[in-house]
Amino acid sequence: MAELSGKYLVGVYDDDDTVLHAVPRLRKAGVKIKEVYSPFPIHGLDEALGHPRTRIGIAAFMFGVTGCCTALTMMIWMMGIDWPMIVGGKDPISIPNYIPITFELTVLFTAFGMVITFFISNGLGPGTHFHPRFDVRSTDNKFVMAIDLGRNSMSIEDISRALKDSGAEEVNIKQF
């Protein structure tokens, strides 16, 4: 996660419904919202903020295909080519017997590939000793909206008034 710099206006909300309804109102009023931080997922919030739909599913599918191909290639090569082996009168390359391991490796590759992609795309990782920069209560019971003042042309007074009107119970200034 990139380091933040500059001056931010932080709106603290008391309720998930209030913040969900505040987002379209503020965007309509011309306020550019950086991000909303919440203690639990709020459905529809990412669309309201205008975030593009995540493409992590495509990555997951690719990892799955990789796992499937890896498993089949491995077994066909080992059992059929490198050291052909007939066990129980079965053909050295007998695809039906390979299905369980192919399935398991497909799942394994998809799960791990997807989770690693998730960590990278969110900038999460061990050693990222990050604490919520705008308001520490956003992992407990508050819903925190961050507005980058450098990217907004409106004055601080106007934005904070808009935040208050949309239901924010506190408006703070945070300088990095």
Partner 1 sequence: MHVTSPVREPLIQGGKTYADVTEDICRHVEGSPTKEWKIAFGISLIVLAYGSVCLAWTWWEGLGVWGLNKTVGWAWDITNFVWWVGIGHAGTLISAILLLFRQKWRTSINRAAEAMTIFAVICAASFILMHMGRPWLAYWALPLPNAFGSLWVNFNSPLVWDVFAISTYFSVSLVFWYIGLIPDLATIRDRATSKVSRFMYGTFAMGWDGSAKTWARYEYISLILAGLSTPLVLSVHTIVSMDFATSVIPGWHTTIFPPYFVAGAIFSGFAMVQNLMLITRVVYRLEDYITLEHIETMNKVITLTGSVVGVAYITEFFIAWYSGVEYEYYAFFNRMTGPYWWAYWAMMTCNVISPQLFWSRKLRRSITFTFFISVVVNIGMWFERFVIIVTSLHRDYLPSSWTMFSPTRYDIGDYIFSFGLFFTLFLLFSKYLPVVNMAEVKAVIRSTSANLPQKIAGVAKVRQRGTAEPVYNKDKE
Q: Which of residues 127-166 bind partner 1 (CB under 8 A)?
A: 127-133, 135-142, 156, 160, 163-164
The DSSP element (H or E) to which 173 belongs, if any, is: strand 170-175
Contact between 114 and partner 1 per CB under 8 A: yes
Q: Bridge-partner residues for 18, per DSSP?
A: none
Lay out the site mask for partner 1 across 77-96 (x = CB under 8 A, - = otherwise).
Answer: -xx--xx-x-xx-x---x--
In a 13 Å sphere around the CA of 36, the CA atoms on its Cβ side amount to: 35
Nearer to partner 1 by Cβ, of 30 and 78: the residue is 78
CA distances from 6 to 34, 35, 140, 155, 175 (A): 13, 15, 25, 15, 6
Contact stretch for partner 1 (CB under 8 A) within 13-21, 24-32, 147-155: 13-21
Residue type, position 155, single letter: S
Contact between 68 and partner 1 per CB under 8 A: no
Nearest residue to 146 via CA among 6, 21, 36, 24: 36
- Identify the residue among 30, 122, 155, 165 touching partner 1 (CB under 8 A): 122
Nearer to partner 1 by Cβ, of 30 and 54: the residue is 54
Nearer to partner 1 by Cβ, of 30 and 176: the residue is 176
